[in-house]
Amino acid sequence: MAHIDLVAVATIARRELSERLRNRWIWTVSGLVLLTSLALGLLGATPVGVVGAGSGGAILASIVNLAVYLVPLLALVMGAGAVIEDKASGHLDLMLAYPVTAGEYFLGTFAGHMLALWLALLTSFVPACLILSRTSGVHLAESLGVLVPILGLGTSFLALSFLVAILAGDPARGIASSVLVWVFTVLVFDLVLVGMLVGLGDRIPPDWLGAALLLNPADVFRLIAFDWASSAASPLGLATVAPPFSVAVLAAIMALWIVLPLFLSHWLFQRRLAADVLV
Amino acid sequence: MIRFENTSKKYGDFEALAPLDLTIQSGEWLGIFGRNGSGKTTLLRLLVGISKASEGRITMDDVEAGPSEWRAMRSSLGFMPERFPLLPHLSGEKTLRYYARLKRVDLDEVGPLLETVGLGDVARRKTSTYSKGMRQRLNLAQALLGDPRLLVLDEPIEGLDGHGVKDFFELLRSVPNRTVVISSHRLPLVSKLCDRVCVLKQGKVEALGATDDLIRQADLPTRLIISPHASTSESMGRALARLPSATMVSQNGRVVVDVAQRDKLAVLSEIASFGDAVQDIRIEEPTLEEVLLGSH
């Protein structure tokens, strides 16, 4: 197998980053996140029932919840046309006539998307975290530390969006499928778990419910974020359903949620490319 | 030298390209012709390495593109796709620098190359403002990056007007000493440029050879269109009708004769015997397109 040419990967990533940063949708959602998180940081923790400044843990919990809803949406929509738009425009074919492997192209494209997503997320959340640490009792490190799982959450859903896009094989179908993935992971999944909890009650061991949360990257993020920012967990009572895993194990599972979809999408990409049925 | 050895391409049960043996000599210009779905694009995709052959192999200077050779082989290849994927927010210069980085070409090559293709004055303009002709020039410029030995052009004059086609061909001729493979469905225009043509039909080679050879082999008649003086029109018609291989019709006072190649000189001599009674004569040799379409 040929070695990976990092110059080619970086060149493609840079071009992809530049293209993504011109996407108005990304900045619209990013702006929405920024405004909402700033409002939370400045006005207090009304959404979780605690009014007034100083209730830092609750505000942080609200920011984490905000991230659970909007970060996956941002990532999924950003990656909805990944690879297949390049195939449709002819850019991918031209790349493959260059001394660039399909793997280098794929890696560069993902890296470019990821950097654009990270930039959008940092722009949205860093100001809110800084304000939060100044206006409440939350320590700056605890506040900024939440950014790490937020970036992990975004990256895992970006990897999922690549898989969805390649499976969809069409930009419009890719967006529709991405929205469905968002609805399922962010809205439906937890409702199903709550339904099981209500319906089956004591018949489900508490550990099982906690373990089931690991099947959803959005919930893995919640667990990591609340584990990291312990002051944020108490207002939501989340500690009662926390699985019996350390934050290191949770981080490893989040990493799996990035690597696994990415590996699958790369495998599918190579397979469909070889068969000329990508789009 | 590029060699297709029993190379074929299938998509499921559909055979896009039947087993093909084709050798392209170094420095040769080869035209690939055919209607939509004839296998032109498949052949080019195999040649540039976008697709892999289902069977057979393709070699360049007797070397097959294996894992260790493919990068160097693609560096010596320039591909001009039919649709050039523009990066609309970039200038022509930045677009070319992007492709130069990917090909590991010295960035100092970009400026002179833009001058060569006539985009020097608009190098810093965004490509979204470029005309179709300018985009094709930029497309050619990216294909010429790194001074490739093999240039593969897919429908390079599609969408260009008469002036655009002329300018493009002049530009192409100004970068000599390389092997060129051109795919097009505009046969008359491109066949004049090529040393040989390969005509594909439903994934199979229908004709392969030098344009003149293919025309000669087809032995289609030459058409003579004679404008005689009104008083001699009838007698000339009678005289030419007596010749064995000539087919004659009259059109608005003109005499139109289709004559077999072997009798062409004899017929011309007969016409010459009418002296000043012949006001004008036009000779239309068969074209490659007529050979392939079987009409004249």
Instruction: Evaluate the CA torsion angle A95, A97, A102, A103 in order and state its sign.
Output: negative
User: What is the rounded CA–CA span in Å between residue B48 and residue A156?
Assistant: 35
Please give the Cα distance from A103 to A9 (Å, whole number): 9
- Look up residue B57 and give its two tokens: 């192999």
B2-216 is a CATH 3.40.50.300 domain: yes
Q: Among residues A161, A195, A162, which one has the least CA distance to residue A181?
A: A161
Domain boundaries along the sequence of chain A: 6-274
pLDDT per residue over A6-36, tens digit each? 999 999 999 999 999 998 888 888 888 888 8
Between CA B28 and CA B288 the distance in angstroms is 19
Distance from CA of A148 to the nearest CA of B (A): 32
Residue pair B91/B124 in contact by the 8 Å Cβ criterion: yes
Which of B89, B91, B97, B102 would you mutate first to test chain A, the one with the most A CBs within 10 A?
B102
- Residues of chain B contacting A19 with CB distance shorter than 8 Å: 87, 89
Pick the CATH number of B220-293 from 3.30.70.920, 3.30.559.10, 3.40.50.20, 3.60.20.30: 3.30.70.920
- A20: helix, strand or coil: helix
**Max Cα distance, chain B (Å):** 78
CB-based contact (8 Å) between A173 and chain B?
A: no
Nearest to A98 among B51, B52, B102 (CB): B102
Do B169 and B156 meet the contact criterion of CB atoms below 8 Å apart?
no
As given in the structure block, the two tokens for residue A135 are: 């206006």
Q: Which tokens in the block code for residue B37?
A: 């779905």
Structure confidence at residue A232 as a pLDDT band (50, 70, 90): low
Span A139-154, pLDDT tens digits: 888 888 889 999 999 9
The ranges assigned to domains in chain B are: 2-216, 220-293
pLDDT in tens, B115-147: 989 899 999 999 999 998 899 999 999 999 999
- Give me the pLDDT at residue B251, please: 67
Please report the ipTM that was assigned to this predicted complex: 0.84
Instruction: Sort out which chain A residues have CB atoms less than 8 A from B72's CB and list them.
Output: 99
Q: By the CB < 8 Å criterion, does B76 face chain A?
A: no
Residue B31 has pLDDT above 90, yes or no: yes
Average pLDDT along chain A: 86
Rounded distance, CA A126 to CA A60, Å? Answer: 12
User: How many A/B residue pairs have CB atoms within 8 Å?
Assistant: 66
What pLDDT does residue A53 have?
45
3-state DSSP assignment of residue A46: helix
Buried b (16+ CB within 10 A) or exposed e, A238-247: beebbbebee
Cβ of B49 and A11 within 8 Å?
Answer: no
Say if residue A237's pLDDT is above 60. no
Q: What is the identity of the amino acid at B281?
A: I
Of A21-30, A44-53, B92-101, B259-268, the poorest mean pLDDT is in A44-53
